[in-house]
Chains A and B, each alone.
Chain A
Amino acid sequence: MSKAPPITNRVREWREAHGGISQAALGAAIGVTRHTIIAIEQGRYSPSLESAFRIARVFGVGVEDVFGWESG
């Protein structure tokens, strides 16, 4: 099995900063399931570029504010 991708994210922080929007609501807003949002938050899944942009748009920030690259 492959190791977790080196992509970090602050989806949970942004959800909490936006009034605690639920994982299900965020998933519905961008067209994925709640389980996929959970997998993204836990770093088990890296979303497609399109979904990354959609998530960032929900929070009204740039994609680089939500996702990052774990160097080293």
Chain B
Amino acid sequence: MSFREKSAWVMALLTGVAGLWYFEKLVALSSSLAETPAPLGLVLRYCIGVVVVSVIAQIGLAVMTPEDADAPADERERAALRRAGSWSGDVLAMGILSALAWFVARGDGNLLFHMVFASLIVAQICQYLLQAVLLRRGA
């Protein structure tokens, strides 16, 4: 398994676990998301946590295979990363459009925030999973 594939699997797992943690905390704040305003403290903790753990995980992976970590992406890897980015962008767009449609129908700004943030997290997870699958498959 290449460095980038390992990195993609680790990041997908990390982002998935962090996303579950975030929404578990969010649901604990109130039984109705529509009544829960944007929890900025929780969002900040999520973002900082993901960044810090990602950096630690990437350093750990790089220490295990320093040569692979230093090497730039080659043509196959670039194609896989580009395609994963494009498809996850579609996932993000679908989530944002759904959130906007919901907002137009209900006029609920709180839910709009939660749906947009959830879309960001899901799109990020999709991007890492697609990277891993495409790198494994051959791109």
Known A-B contacts A33-B77, A39-B76; the reply to A45 vs B71 at CB < 8 A is no
Counting from the closest, the 10 A-B pairs by CB-CB distance are A44-B138, A45-B138, A32-B74, A39-B138, A35-B2, A36-B76, A33-B74, A45-B76, A48-B75, A36-B74
Residues on the A chain within 8 Å of B68, using CB: 33
Determine the residue in chain B with the shortest Cβ distance to A34.
B2
Do B77 and A45 touch across chains, with their CB atoms under 8 A apart?
no
Do B2 and A44 touch across chains, with their CB atoms under 8 A apart?
no
Known A-B contacts A33-B2, A35-B2; the reply to A51 vs B75 at CB < 8 A is yes
Number of A-B contacts (CB under 8 A): 33
Do A36 and B137 touch across chains, with their CB atoms under 8 A apart?
no
Determine the residue in chain A with the shortest Cβ distance to B72.
A31
Residues on the A chain within 8 Å of B77, using CB: 33, 36
> A residues engaging B (CB < 8 A)?
1, 27, 31-33, 35-36, 39, 42, 44-45, 47-48, 51
How many residues on B have C-beta within 8 angstroms of the other chain's C-beta atoms? 12
14 CB < 8 A contacts A-B: A1-B137, A33-B71, A33-B76, A33-B77, A35-B5, A35-B76, A35-B135, A42-B138, A45-B76, A45-B138, A45-B139, A47-B75, A47-B76, A51-B75
Measured in the bound complex, the distance between the Cα atoms of B67 and A72 in whole Å is 42
A35, A42, A47, most chain B CB atoms within 10 A? A35
B67 → chain A closest CB, angstroms: 10
**Interface residues in B94-139 (C-beta closer than 8 Å to A):** 135, 137-139
Residues on the B chain within 8 Å of A48, using CB: 75
A31: contacting residue among B2, B74, B138, B139, CB under 8 A: B74
Determine the residue in chain B with the shortest Cβ distance to A2.
B137
Residues on the B chain within 8 Å of A31, using CB: 74
Residues on the B chain within 8 Å of A45, using CB: 76, 138-139
Known: A32-B74, A35-B2, A45-B138. 4 other contacts (CB 8 A): A33-B68, A33-B71, A44-B137, A48-B75
